[in-house]
Amino acid sequence: MNILLYNKLSDTTFHSIIQPLIKSKFVNHIYIVRDDDNVIKSDKITILSITNKNSKSKLRHIKKLFKGIALCRKHKIDVVMGVLLYPHGYLARLSSFFTSLPLIHITIAGHREFWVFGKLTEKINLLFFRNIKAITVTGEKSRNYLIHNKFKPERVFILPNVIDFEPYYFKSDIKKEYDVVSISRLDKNKNLSLLLRAIAAIKERTLIKALIAGVGDESDNLKQEAKMLGIEEQIHFTGWVEEVEKNDIYNKASIFVLCSKGEGFPLSLLEAMSCGCVSVVSNVGDISDVIAPGKNGFIFNDTENELELAQIIEFLINNPLEISNISHNAQEVKNNLSIDNVSKIWDTILSNINK
C-alpha cells in the first residue's frame, strides 16, 4: 500500500509513529507532507517538505492540502492518514473526501483532541470523523470515549505510543543526585506548579531535590513560584536538554513526576520507566493502560490539590526498598511495548483497509 501522511510533530514523536508503520508488511511507501524535513532514513519514505517550518501563515496549510490531493493521483495512494486533528487531521480528512480514498486518523493526544476547544468544536469533530475507515487511539479510555460517541467499535484500534528503547536504560553506576525529575514543556497544561507546591508542602519533614528540564511560556513563572515557596535551592531548572542527555538525566533521579492536566500517552513516561524511574503521574489520557499502581508506578487523580502528589512522593522517599522494587518492574515496559508489537497492530488495521 502507498500511504499519504499529514503531520507536524517533534522528531521524537514522529519517529515513534513512523517506525512501527514502516515495519508493517502491508506498507510499500509512505509519502509524508509536513512543514520541514526529518532525519529519519528509509527507502520506504519520501518526505515532502513544501513549506518553511518557521512560517506562521495559515495559507501554508491550504498549500499542503492541494499538494496532498495532487500526490494522491501522482503516486497512486491507497490510504490517507493524519496525525492530530488540528490542522493535519482535517487536511487528511479533506484530502480523503476529494479523492474518495479511505482515511485513517491517528489520535496521539487522547480524547482531549476532540473536546479541548469546547463543546461545539467537540460535536463538529466527532461528526466529521465518525464514519472514517479507521481511527487509532492510545488506550482504552480514548477508545471507550469514541464508542460512547457512536464510532463503530470495529473501526477504533488501540495503538499505543512506543519509542526506540535502546537509548534509555538503567545505569547503576550513576549517582542519584535528585529525588525527583521532570522533563517536559513548561506550559500551563504540564502543570509543574503542582509539583512545586507538593515539594513545599512537605519541606519541613522531607527535604527533596528536584530537577526540572524543559522550556516554555511558564519557565519564568515557575522559577518565581519556587522562590516564593522558599524551595528555590531545592529545584534545579536546566532549560532545554538534547535527546542524548535524557538517559543520564533520568538516571540521576529516583522518581519521575508528570503533573499534566491533559495527555494522550506521553513518551516521556516510557523513557523514564525504561531508565528505572518510579513514575508518579496524573490520571489523564490513557496513562492507566501502562501504569499498574503500586507495581510499576503510581497514579494520582487531583491535578489541582498538591497534597495527594506530596503524599506519594513522601512515601517513596521514606521507603527506598519500595523504590527499588518498583524500579525493577517499571523497566519491563520495554518488553510490553515494542516497535514490533505495534507494527503487528498496523498489520491488522491495514489488512482491514485492504479488504
- Is residue 44, in this structure, part of any structural domain at all? yes
Half-sphere exposure of 80 (CA within 13 A, CB side): 27
Tell me if 166 is assigned to some domain: no
Assess whether 245 and 156 both reside in one domain. no
Domain extent at residue 79: 2-161+338-354
* CB distance 31 to 56 below 8 Å: no
> Are residues 303 and 183 both part of a single domain?
yes
Q: Is residue 292 part of a domain?
A: yes
The C-alpha atoms of residue 133 and residue 82 are separated, in whole angstroms, by: 12
25 assigned to some structural domain: yes
Residues 216 and 325 in one domain: yes
Shared domain check, 137 and 248: no
Domain count for the chain, please give it.
2
- Along the 355 residues of the chain, how does pLDDT read in single tens digits? 999 999 988 888 888 899 999 999 999 999 999 876 666 778 999 988 655 555 567 788 888 999 999 999 898 999 999 999 999 999 999 999 999 999 999 999 999 999 999 999 999 999 999 999 999 999 999 999 999 999 999 999 999 989 989 999 999 999 999 999 999 999 999 999 999 999 999 999 999 999 999 999 999 999 999 999 999 999 999 999 999 999 999 999 999 999 999 888 899 999 999 999 999 999 998 999 999 999 999 999 999 999 999 999 999 999 999 999 999 999 999 988 889 999 999 999 999 887 6
Would residue 263 count as lying in a domain?
Answer: yes
User: Three-state SS for 336?
Assistant: helix
- 299 with 252, same domain? yes
DSSP letters along 42-67, please?
A: -TTEEEEE-S-TT---THHHHHHHHH
Could you tell me if 10 and 130 lie in one domain? yes
Helix then strand then coil, % of the chain, to nearest 5: 45, 20, 40
Are residues 205 and 331 located together in one domain of the fold? yes
Q: Which three cell numbers stand for residue 5?
A: 501522511
C-alpha–C-alpha distance, residues 120 and 110, integer Å: 18
With a threshold of 0.75, does the pTM exceed it?
yes
State whether 305 and 344 are in the same domain: no
Residue 230 lies in a domain: yes
CATH assignment at residue 209? 3.40.50.2000
Strands 156-158 and 79-83: what pairing? Answer: unpaired
Residue 320 maps to a domain: yes
Are 82 and 222 part of one and the same domain? Answer: no
Same domain for 342 and 201?
no
CA–CA separation, 225 and 58 (whole Å): 36
Cα-flanking dihedrals φ and ψ of residue 25, to 5°? -70, -10
Decide if 305 is inside a domain. yes
Tell me: do 201 and 273 sit in the same domain: yes
